[in-house]
Amino acid sequence: MPVVLAALVATAGCTAMRREGAMQQERLLAAAGFQMKFANTPALASQASEMPQRRVVPVPADGGVRYVYADSQFCNCIYAGSEQAYDRYQRLVVQSDIAAENEEAATEEEEAQMDWGAWGGWGPWW
């Protein structure tokens, strides 16, 4: 029973992480100018679920290229954007990655400066 419970907790944690990643990606898509449409009919839901999930892919459209992102698991929607929106999205992804790295480095620096000795002993397991 403990093994099953641990597996369920791990699965729930992974799902939460995937959901957070999807939400972050969808925020960047919206900020870049992608338009979101809900898959609110059975036909649209089926079409969205057949597309590559949570990846921006080029699709030929109107003599050019449209970039499409589908998420049938969390938002049950698709995002579509122009080449200009895709270029903005790529820049936003890079900026977001840099900000995350800077935040991680600042946290590590802050933790390195923490005076853990002030907390006293941590018991025999430490």
Distance CA 61, CA 40 (A): 22
- Higher confidence at residue 114 or residue 5? 114
7's enclosing H/E stretch is: helix 2-32
pLDDT tens string 37-73: 999 999 999 999 999 999 999 999 989 999 999 999 9
What is the pTM for the complete model shown? 0.72
- Domain residue spans in the chain? 33-101
Residue 8, pLDDT score: 47
| Nearest partner of 75 among 8, 31, 20, judged by Cα | 20
**R_g of the chain, CA atoms, integer Å:** 21
| Nearest partner of 11 among 123, 118, 19, judged by Cα | 19
DSSP E strands in 1-126: the ranges are 35-38, 56-61, 64-71, 77-81
Distance CA 104, CA 16 (A): 20
pLDDT of 90 strictly over 70: yes
